[in-house]
Structure 1
Amino acid sequence: MKKKSIAIDMDGVLADVEAHLITYFERDFGITILREDIQGLTEEEAFHGREKVMSVLNSKDFFRTLPVIEDAVESLKLLQENFEVYIVSAATEFPLSLNEKIEWLAEHFPFINWQNIVLCGSKSIINTDYLIDDHPKNLDFCMGKPIMFTAFHNAKKENYLRVNNWKEAVAVLKEAV
């Protein structure tokens, strides 16, 4: 029997971009940002404008040094038992990130085969049974079942099945087997 497939976003789902942005903003701009103060805001609203956000996201090593979201590694190992797991990242918007993301995945998720890593521009080309992502703009094009991973910028969105962490994601997907 063929396994069902899952596409999993990297930034904000496997990698804690929110925590990293907060650290960078304190270090680079002297601006202290608290997680609870940015719930429901866009990246630009939370992080003082598009220009500042883009300067941080285009910094060398930003994507290479992202912290891993709690339970992500163990959860993907569990999911691989019953699903074909793909990591999908809209990485081409940040050209410096391409190599950094591959190195990051190799370090933290060495059990994910290189053939199951998709770095793209638009996720509208992805055709898997499930897509776990933190951005509604990516879930809008999901050809399978969309699952929204909670992040500060989607806190007010209610269009999709929501999971708040990896334990919840695994529970939802175990029911699908």
Structure 2
Amino acid sequence: MILNRAFFGQDTNTVSTHLIGKLLCFRNFKGIITETESYIGSDDPACHAARGMTPRTKIMFGSAGFSYVYFIYGKYYCLNIVTEALNFPAATLIRGIQLIHPPYTYLNGPGKLCQFLGIDLSHNAIDVTLSKSLYIKDIGFQLSYKATPRIGISKGLDKMWRYVITDKDGIAAMLPHTT
């Protein structure tokens, strides 16, 4: 089942943790989400929207369930999904996936993930609850994860808002059941 707007409209940390084990589908690629990070509102100094709405962050103030893709370090794109209520800027960063079709590649890191899949700024503001080319499905996987401080940021390091699976190899045992 493709995840709906109500799923993404929940508290960002709930969305981030519940995305672990879901299937990210983009064009012909399918991968189990293995790592996420939460960025929540104006009180989160690491959140792009902490300083208010800009042309870049406008999408974060919109409806939950839309993609927020941005460019960092002059060479990488990152894929986020907008969460929570309208006019409350928050999103979940998709940090890692395990592809389930050959080459069964483990993509750890949001830049590496987008580069491999071919996600760029043209994929910003896609409604992932309605799209046929970028969406997330619940396929019934229950994966164990741990919470850690977020990485790749310089502010808000006290927040334990990075969620990563504890057993990457455990996915392999589940793959024959995935279609």
Q: TM-score, normalised by structure 1?
A: 0.29
Q: Normalized per residue, which structure has more helix?
A: 1
